[in-house]
């Protein structure tokens, strides 16, 4: 029995999601070896808290990367959510797993990206 055969769907989804987020941030993620720089292959860290901060933001911790749901909960509000999950969405869909659509926060403050996008859609 191979490693992939013993890996649960949740572990697989978490690994794929973190791998794709790491790629978008200029890292390589391996659940056994930790985080490495994508260009130099230099070791960055294997500490879950530091990995979370590098991949999801400074206000996160290891518990935020513990499950696929916790990762999605953090990144679904980010402006680049769709870019972060693009590769993972396709791979997980093949396995019958779905990544939810983004939960974009709307801002009506003049001059913000969301405001401009909304005004563009209204004018069409």
Output the average pLDDT for the chain.
Answer: 82
Instruction: Tell me 78's DSSP state.
Output: S
Please give the Cα distance from 85 to 95 (Å, whole number).
15
Residue (of 97, 4, 18) closest to 65 by Cα position: 18
pTM for this structure? 0.72
Residue (of 39, 32, 78, 89) closest to 55 by Cα position: 78
Q: What is the 3-state secondary structure (H, E, C) of 34-76?
A: EEEECCCCCEEECCHHHHHHHHHCCCCCHHHHCCHHHHHHHHC
Please give the Cα distance from 59 to 56 (Å, whole number).
8
Element (H, E) at 29: strand 27-30
Q: Domain extents for the chain?
A: 3-123
Q: What is the model's pLDDT at position 1?
A: 39
**What is the per-residue pLDDT across 41-90, written as a single tens digit (0 to 9) for each?**
999 999 999 999 999 988 999 999 999 899 988 888 777 888 888 888 87
Q: What is the model's pLDDT at position 48?
A: 95
């Amino acid at each position: 029995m191979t490693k992939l055969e013993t890996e649960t769907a949740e572990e697989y989804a978490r690994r794929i999601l973190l791998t794709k987020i790491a790629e978008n941030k200029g890292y390589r993620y391996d659940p056994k070896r930790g985080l490495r720089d994508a260009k130099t292959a230099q070791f960055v860290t294997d500490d879950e808290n530091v990995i979370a901060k590098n991949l999801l933001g400074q206000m996160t911790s290891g518990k935020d990367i513990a499950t696929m749901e916790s990762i999605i909960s953090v990144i679904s509000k980010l402006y680049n959510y769709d870019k972060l999950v693009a590769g993972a969405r396709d791979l997980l869909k093949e396995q019958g797993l779905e990544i939810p659509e983004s939960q974009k926060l709307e801002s009506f403050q003049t001059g913000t990206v969301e405001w401009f996008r909304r005004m563009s859609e209204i004018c069409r």
